[in-house]
Amino acid sequence: MTVETLVFLAAAMLVVAFLYSSVGHAGASGYIAVMALAGLSPAFIKPTALALNILVACLSSWQFYRAGYFSWRLFWPFAALGVPFAFLGGYLHLPARGFNVLLGVVLFYSAVRFMLPASPDAEPREPGVPLSLAAGAALGFVSGLAGVGGGIFLTPLLIFMRWARTKTASAVSAVFILVNSVAGLAGTFTSTRVLPRLAIPLGVAVVVGGAAGSYLGSHRFPVPVIKKLLACVLAIAAAKLVLT
């Protein structure tokens, strides 16, 4: 990879981390979109997206925890099976075409989710433990397989099913993203014994972008505009993956 390409990737990752953290996500689907548009291979995309996700998820998790929005009682059933199944998903590898189609679906879903208006908070009704365990296992497996943390699925699920208020859903999802990304990366590394070295300079970029976005996004930036911009990027990347 040339220096120019690396600089472009780092700058793009910084912007993605900045935008995603400003709306409460770690950014794996955005990192995947950038790397897919750059024509990088699935072998590089999956572990790199998970590694970068861990860094930004650490920032988000800490901020939500300090703010008092995190609920351990809601979180643990999703994580109990989500973590081992994320490891399994990270260990497995689809053929290149299957991987691209899966990522395309994930990115398209993410784009649609960002275009939807925010739902008003309702009185939450926490799900039963068996249902949470099953949902966590499914989300963890798909997350590990696709190289994302799962928050893009868990957050709307918690809100749509009225299992949590928006802030609590974001807090639980942030920690779910963190533990699933760690498990998915561990599974990938166990299978391939390879972690792209370029994840280090890209990691510096996402930490800078994530720290700035998580602060400024909560105070000054209009979230609906940011979500629409992200949706456009994700939709373009999804179309590229599925159609080529």
Residue 237 reports pLDDT greater than 80: no
| Cα Rg of the chain (Å, integer) | 16
User: What residue numbers bound the domain in which 219 lies?
Assistant: 3-243
pTM reported for the whole predicted model: 0.82
> What domain count does the chain have?
1
pLDDT at 5: 85
Per-residue model confidence as pLDDT tens digits over 186-196: 988 888 877 77
| Polymer length of the chain | 244
Q: What is the pLDDT of residues 156-174, one digit of tens each?
A: 888 878 899 878 888 899 8
Question: Could you say which DSSP state residue 125 is in?
Answer: -
Q: In this predicted model, what pLDDT tens digit does every residue of 23-76 receive, in sequence order? A: 778 888 889 888 888 888 877 888 898 899 999 999 888 888 888 889 999 999
Positive or negative CA dihedral for 197, 203, 204, 206? positive
